[in-house]
Chain A
């Protein structure tokens, strides 16, 4: 049978009639009043009907397939929990990647849910409204499935206990949080380029494939299963993002420079957030999937290259930051791990020295940079740790005003020199980590001067538990900050060696193979 439908409506027509075909223009109030936010950004849309629906799932198909995914997912989550699947991971250091995920990514899924709901309300075209609504549903599904999947780890390991409290307070979590706050407080079209296109299309593979593959390689069926389950929704999100940019560019040539500016900004902001993923891939997975450098080459240079070649017909150029990102791919993971290693007393996950064979893997994967610039510090620190002098940096770092990462990045032309950039605005000075972040600041300074920078907030006295008196003699700010974070000192932080997680994992794993 060739499956030709004959008298039935095709998928495209069915979907169209069941979505935009049901919409109408308002008459009691003018459309501009009902949709007050879809013109102010300067994006011109002449014909909303030209929107081509990406994935055409009417509600019957949507619920059917989403329900199937949920059944499969929770069956696996149950089996994983029942079987003490957590003891099957390669080694307990791996579990720290999940702490980073739950505190740093899962809250963003929730923000994405709100963002798409908000944007969906603001667009006057029915096609994108429906697509945004479906994505909003998907995103809250993701936050819930992630929370459920991680809950099994929360029963046994430290650091998973208060992710909602931490996302608004902990210093490194302001990096992903401010990324989303920036997108969420932009107009609807910028939000679609920031999240729908730059994050969901260009960069998503660099977040999800490493985490999911990392889970698969390290025996973590729980995380792997939610990852795959979420990814099946992501494919729809990717097509929405791509359609969005195509639609904007096809509607009016005046949209091109606005869209280009957003692509440049959001590619860079996304790349900076992905520093955490690079570090995860190169340092936190006991069984590594591939290096950050390799992932970058496959998913950004090749795949992104194909995408921007395609978009060139509209006049779109690949993001400005590519030259810097190409250099950075050999450095940022090492620089980031060095940062978390030394600030490990204030992290909600454990850190550790790479083993000698892990150092050798890094040398092999980074022949141009690792031995020359990074091995010496890791070897020095390991040696110091052996002598009982494990390095904990207790002085707060300078943060970038835009990406909010400590100013740990180096000059693109010289990896021995920290990169310092600054701007003066209305009689105050602001500091940025790179040309990319400086340009973002200079384009919208009034936005970024409002940033809630964790280090500055600590110094303003805003990061202590209520009732704390910092003027008391002998007051020590850092323990008070940890209390404010709901981070238990000695349990949730510090080196993996000697941690409760390490002891418990070893003891429980032994129980699975012995009877005494």
Chain B
């Protein structure tokens, strides 16, 4: 099984996004580097708007992640509610 990953700039906004990803993806592994935070998950990662809003305490449009995103890996499926990365094996 291969990992998918996503990496963000490290700032106050992405703290909430990262917390949401950890909450919704058991087994997620976080790697911290200067200015960058990378999260690996085996095979599939789901990022939910509702969880992010809960963690951030404000309303959030998933496309706002664009501002902070550095790189990712896996096939993307994007809706208003979820941003999913996955491999099909």
Partners in one complex: yes
Residue positions of A touching B, CB distance < 8 A = 1-5, 10-12, 54-57, 61, 65, 68-69, 72, 204-205, 208-209, 212-213, 216-217, 224, 228, 231-232, 234-236, 238-239, 242, 246, 289, 302-303, 305-307, 309-310, 312-313
Please determine whether B78 and A242 come into contact, CB atoms closer than 8 angstroms. Answer: no
Residues of A within 8 A of B49 (CB): 3
Q: Report how far A68 CA is from B64 CA in the complex, Å.
A: 10
Q: Can you list 16 A-B contacts (CB < 8 A)?
A: A4-B81, A54-B76, A55-B66, A65-B63, A65-B64, A68-B67, A204-B71, A209-B71, A212-B36, A232-B68, A289-B33, A302-B3, A303-B3, A306-B3, A306-B4, A307-B73
Contact with A along B53-82 (1 / 0, CB 8 A): 100000001011011111111111011110
Q: Give the nearest-CB partner of A65 in chain B.
A: B66
Residues of B within 8 A of A246 (CB): 75
Residues of A within 8 A of B71 (CB): 204-205, 208-209, 231, 234-235, 238
Q: Give the nearest-CB partner of A233 in chain B.
A: B66
Please determine whether A310 and B80 come into contact, CB atoms closer than 8 angstroms. Answer: no
Chain B contact residues: helix, strand, loop or mixed = mixed
Within the complex, what minimum Cβ distance (angstroms) separates A288 from chain B? 12
Please determine whether B66 and A57 come into contact, CB atoms closer than 8 angstroms. Answer: yes
Within the complex, what minimum Cβ distance (angstroms) separates B70 from chain A? 4
Please determine whether B34 and A306 come into contact, CB atoms closer than 8 angstroms. Answer: no
Please determine whether A228 and B72 come into contact, CB atoms closer than 8 angstroms. Answer: no
Residues of A within 8 A of B79 (CB): 10-12
Residues of A within 8 A of B78 (CB): 11-12, 55-56
Please determine whether B36 and A57 come into contact, CB atoms closer than 8 angstroms. Answer: no
Residue positions of B touching A, CB distance < 8 A = 2-5, 9, 33-36, 49-50, 53, 61, 63-64, 66-76, 78-81, 87-89
Q: Report how far A235 CA is from B34 CA in the complex, Å.
A: 19
Q: Report how far A10 CA is from B34 CA in the complex, Å.
A: 37
Residues of B within 8 A of A305 (CB): 2
Q: Give the nearest-CB partner of B86 in chain A.
A: A310
Residues of A within 8 A of B4 (CB): 306
Q: Report how far A10 CA is from B2 CA in the complex, Å.
A: 30
Please determine whether A235 and B50 come into contact, CB atoms closer than 8 angstroms. Answer: no
Please determine whether A69 and B75 come into contact, CB atoms closer than 8 angstroms. Answer: no
Please determine whether A10 and B80 come into contact, CB atoms closer than 8 angstroms. Answer: yes
Q: Report how far A236 CA is from B88 CA in the complex, Å.
A: 20
Q: Report how far A302 CA is from B75 CA in the complex, Å.
A: 16
Known: A303-B5, A307-B73. A313 touches B66 (CB 8 A): no
Residues of A within 8 A of B35 (CB): 212-213, 216, 224, 228
Please determine whether B88 and A313 come into contact, CB atoms closer than 8 angstroms. Answer: yes
Residues of B within 8 A of A68 (CB): 67
Residues of A within 8 A of B34 (CB): 213, 216-217
Q: Report how far A439 CA is from B68 CA in the complex, Å.
A: 41
Please determine whether A309 and B2 come into contact, CB atoms closer than 8 angstroms. Answer: yes
Please determine whether B3 and A2 come into contact, CB atoms closer than 8 angstroms. Answer: no
Residues of A within 8 A of B87 (CB): 306, 309-310
Within the complex, what minimum Cβ distance (angstroms) separates B69 from chain A? 5
Among A55, A69, A235, chain B packs the most CB atoms within 10 A around the CB of A235
Residues of A within 8 A of B68 (CB): 232
Contact of A3 among B33, B53, B88 (CB under 8 A): B53
Among B2, B70, B75, chain A packs the most CB atoms within 10 A around the CB of B70
Please determine whether A228 and B9 come into contact, CB atoms closer than 8 angstroms. Answer: yes
Closest 10 CB pairs of A and B: A306-B2, A216-B34, A216-B35, A231-B70, A310-B87, A235-B69, A65-B66, A11-B80, A239-B76, A232-B69
Please determine whether A3 and B81 come into contact, CB atoms closer than 8 angstroms. Answer: yes
Q: Report how far A5 CA is from B81 CA in the complex, Å.
A: 9
Please determine whether B63 and A57 come into contact, CB atoms closer than 8 angstroms. Answer: yes
Residues of A within 8 A of B75 (CB): 242, 246, 310
Q: Report how far A212 CA is from B38 CA in the complex, Å.
A: 14
Q: Report how far A224 CA is from B36 CA in the complex, Å.
A: 11
Contact of A309 among B9, B50, B72, B89 (CB under 8 A): B89
Q: Give the nearest-CB partner of A303 in chain B.
A: B73
Residues of B within 8 A of A309 (CB): 2, 87, 89
Q: Report how far A209 CA is from B2 CA in the complex, Å.
A: 20
Within the complex, what minimum Cβ distance (angstroms) separates B12 from chain A? 13
